[in-house]
Amino acid sequence: MTSKLNTVGIIGLAAITSLAATPALAAGTTAGTTITNTATVDYQVGGVAQGQQSASNNFTVDRKINLLVEEVGTVTTNVVPGQTNAVTTFQLTNSSNETLDFALVASQIVGGTAAHGGTDTFNATNVRIYRDNTVTGTVGSWDVGDTLLTGFVDELVVDTAIRLFVVADIPAGLANNAVAGVTLRATAREGGTAGTQGAAITETTGANTAGKDTVFADIAGVTGDAARDGSHSDNDDYTVQTATLAVAKSSRVISDPFNGTTNPKLIPGAVVEYCIAVANTGAAAASSVVINDAVPGQLTYIPSSILLGGTYTGTVPSGTCDFNGTAGGSYTAPNVSGTIASIAAGATSTLVFRATVN
């Protein structure tokens, strides 16, 4: 019996199989992986099984470069003038399908609107970048256990997010609500050699090749950071919250030797009461407010007459001292002095004392 040609048309395909793959993560299959697919064909001729036929295909998974730099939190970092080690916090995620190094640059914006709406008016100093140590110290917060980086993150594995801290010092003498904007930019670099920053990465141009090609897949970051450039960035800022103090000094005559307390006059022997009012018009409390006043030589300080922490009606300097408070302070000729522990933002506190006209 001769077989008919169309017998081949009813061949049964037994299976099309491929090699098992590692479960895919968010970053996808690892770059450089070879994926092999083998198809097999089983058939019969005249009812007799023939030799199995097969064909294979394989290709190399290309490299997708993707990363994300994000500010942690949604508010500015409040600082005070002269503060050291002020911290802004970011997160870097390697969403590529390969372990990579990441070059880091912390820079400061120049003018314009900062991340949280303020206008950039100053630069911080001594800017450094730290990587959070997740083994020791407080995880998620900057502390002495964190690692000072020398310009790059080393061998960051796929699907990993790490916390980075931009730490800086704040100049003294800044006004309340002064703002410094900070940008953290990360750029993908070749991985594979621990302890050494890898070479720059170039996106593959032209048609797909048989080897491991490179595709940039990152989104645009803040101003000047385009999509698909192998880098990403985000902004944060420092905002100065400080006390702004205004001082007013007033006096009143209490008594004199002839009129007593009825319409007294400032003659020798008269008692004068001074009030020093300190108003805090800033956005942060002023602490350990030390007041000193040198008593003029024409006056004699009245012992134990100092009152601290009194109230003031109205706005310095046009308001009125209430000449009250709690006994305290000290006198070391010729200086009256006293310390007010704290003056809250928007509050006024006073030091009051008495002296006699010589």
Q: What pLDDT does residue 12 have? A: 36
Q: What pLDDT does residue 136 have? A: 87
Reported as a single tens digit per residue, the pLDDT across 198-241 is: 999 999 999 999 999 999 999 999 988 999 999 999 999 999 99
Instruction: Measure the CA–CA gap between 267 and 358, rounded to whole angstroms.
Output: 9
Domain boundaries, given as residue ranges, for the chain = 5-61, 65-240, 245-357
Instruction: Measure the CA–CA gap between 178 and 86, rounded to whole angstroms.
Output: 14
**In 10 A of CB 194, how many CB atoms?**
8
Q: What pLDDT does residue 152 have? A: 98
Q: What are phi and psi of 150, to 5 degrees?
A: -105, 45
Instruction: Measure the CA–CA gap between 291 and 279, rounded to whole angstroms.
Output: 13
Report the pLDDT averaged over residues 52-81. 96
What mean pLDDT is reported for the chain? 92
Q: What pLDDT does residue 342 have? A: 97
* Residue where the block lists tokens 């998620």: 140
Peptide bond into 303 cis (omega under 30): no
Q: What pLDDT does residue 25 have? A: 55
245-357 belongs to which CATH class?
Answer: mainly beta
Q: Does domain 65-240 have CATH number 2.60.40?
A: yes
Q: What pLDDT does residue 308 have? A: 98
Reported as a single tens digit per residue, the pLDDT across 1-47 is: 333 333 333 333 333 333 333 444 577 999 999 999 999 999 999 99
Tokens of 93: 């995620």
Is the fold of 65-240 the same as that of 245-357?
Answer: yes
Tell me the whole-structure pTM to 2 decimals.
0.80
Q: What pLDDT does residue 8 have? A: 33
Report the pLDDT averaged over residues 174-178. 94
Reported as a single tens digit per residue, the pLDDT across 121-151 is: 999 999 999 999 999 889 999 999 999 999 9
Q: What pLDDT does residue 18 have? A: 34
